[in-house]
Structure 1
Amino acid sequence: MFTGIVEAIGTVKEYKPYDDSESGGQGVSITITDASKILNDCHIGDSIAINGICLTVTEFSEDVFKVGISPETIKRTNVSSWINNSKVNLERAVSQDVRFGGHYVQGHVDTVATIVSKENEGNSIIFGFKLRDSQYNKYIVEKGFICIDGTSLTITNVDKDDIFYISMIKHTQQNVIMPLKAIGGEVNIEVDLTGKIIEKQILLTLENQIENENSALNKVISKIVDERIKKYMDKK
């Protein structure tokens, strides 16, 4: 679990494809440098979020660590756009003594978005984004949480074309990679898990109510149908 509060900006030192036959395709091995700030308490097998992707440390030294990335993760994220010397956001998994300053982030990226606008507003930058996969638009709500490249942010507006916006203050600009990206650049998106949980609970409840002939929902539906039939028959 993560908070979406970026701890350091690392650099991709090596992007190396490898045969990941067990996963049914080509995975990659990524080596990240400039990471000493988050490696002082590192162990093999620890989770580190790289641009919001929860990945497992397989090797590390004082300033460098390595992770492997599966084909499924590559499809969901912007990993394929990383090249040597790309800058990436880094965050360690939370520990029991970490203050929860962002929001609940799993590190399970849902999709990517494209930066469609970038405008200065005082000391802030207003970014606009368009999701690649429209099925996630339903989880994008004004004043809701969103995790973009591993950064916990608040959605300020959603327009009629499903473009959503965030406002990034100067402090955040200085500590994350997004200001380095141009219009047309891609970012990783993890929508707020709360919306998914609520949706699932509602669907399961409705399914159970519909399957049960004696449920409150079926009784209400039956009553409405009976009333409509009666009105129709009375008119004849």
Structure 2
Amino acid sequence: MFTGIVEIMGTVAEYNPLDTSASGGQGVSVTIKDAAAILGDCHIGDSIACNGICLTVTEFDADSFKVGISPETIARTDVADWTPGTRVNLERAVSQEVRFGGHYVQGHVDTVATMVSVTPEGNSLVFGFQLRDAKYAKFIVEKGFVCIDGTSLTVTDVAADGTFYIAMIKHTQEVVVMPLKKVGALVNIEVDLTGKLIEKQITHALHNQFDNKNSTLNKLIDSIIDEKVRKYMSK
């Protein structure tokens, strides 16, 4: 579990799509450097969010760590765009001592979005995004949480065409990777878990109601239909 409060920015040092070593996880292997500030208490098997992707440390030294990334993760994220020199947001999994300044972030990226606009507003920047997968649009709501490249942010507006916006203050601009990206770049999106849980519960409850002929919902529907039929027949 993470908070979406980025600790530092690291740099991709190695990207090996054909690495088949045990530590590479039979898939893409990535080494990230400039990470000394978060490796003082690191252990093999620890989770570190890299641009919002929860990844497992398989090797590390004083300044860098290595992770293996599965094909499924590559398909859902911007990992395919990483090259040596790419900057990435880094956050360790939460501990008991961490203040929860962002929101509950799993590090399970749902999809990517394209950055479609960047507009200065005072000393803030307003970013606009379009989701690749429209099915996640229902979870993007004004004043709701969204995690973008591992950064906990608040949605400021959602346009009719699905474009959504966030405003980033000057301090955040200086400590996360988003301002380093240009219009057209991809970002990782994790929608708020709360919305997905609520949808799941409501869908499950409705299915149970529909499947039970004696349920309150079915009785209500039958009552409405009967009333409509009576009114029609009495004309």
- Superposition deviation, residue 19 in structure 1: 6.2
Q: Can you give the 5+ residue segments of structure 2 that lack an aligned partner in the other structure?
A: 21-25
1: CA distance, partners of 2:19 / 2:180: 32
Task: State the match for 1:23 in structure 2.
Answer: none
Task: State the match for 1:16 in structure 2.
Answer: 16
Task: State the match for 1:134 in structure 2.
Answer: 134
Question: Once structures 1 and 2 are overlaid, which stretch shifts more, 210-219 or 81-90?
Answer: 210-219
Q: Can you give the 5+ residue segments of structure 1 that lack an aligned partner in the other structure?
A: 21-25
Task: State the match for 2:36 in structure 1.
Answer: 36
Please list, as runs of the form range in 1=range in 2, the aligned pairs for 1:178-197 lying within 5 A after superposition.
Answer: 178-197=178-197
Aligned residues: percent identity? 70
Q: SS where residue 18 of structure 1 aligns?
A: coil
Task: State the match for 2:27 in structure 1.
Answer: 27
Q: SS where residue 119 of structure 1 aligns?
A: strand
Question: Once structures 1 and 2 are overlaid, which stretch shifts more, 225-234 or 167-176?
Answer: 225-234
CA contact (8 A) 2:19 2:29 kept: no
- Alignment root-mean-square deviation, CA: 0.9
2: CA distance, partners of 1:213 / 1:126: 51
- Structure 1's consecutive aligned runs of 4 or more residues displaced over 2 angstroms after TM superposition are none
Task: State the match for 2:101 in structure 1.
Answer: 101
Q: Residue deviations 1:9-60, cap 9 Å, x none?
A: 000000001266xxxxx82100000001110100000000000000000000
CA contact (8 A) 2:113 2:132 kept: yes
2: CA distance, partners of 1:18 / 1:191: 31
Q: SS where residue 54 of structure 2 aligns?
A: strand
Equivalences, count? 230
Please list, as runs of the form range in 1=range in 2, the aligned pairs for 1:41-190 lying within 5 A after superposition.
Answer: 41-190=41-190
2: CA distance, partners of 1:116 / 1:64: 33
Normalising by structure 2, report the TM-score. 0.96
2: CA distance, partners of 1:29 / 1:53: 14
1: CA distance, partners of 2:97 / 2:103: 16
Normalising by structure 1, report the TM-score. 0.96
Task: State the match for 2:23 in structure 1.
Answer: none
- Superposition deviation, residue 212 in structure 1: 1.1
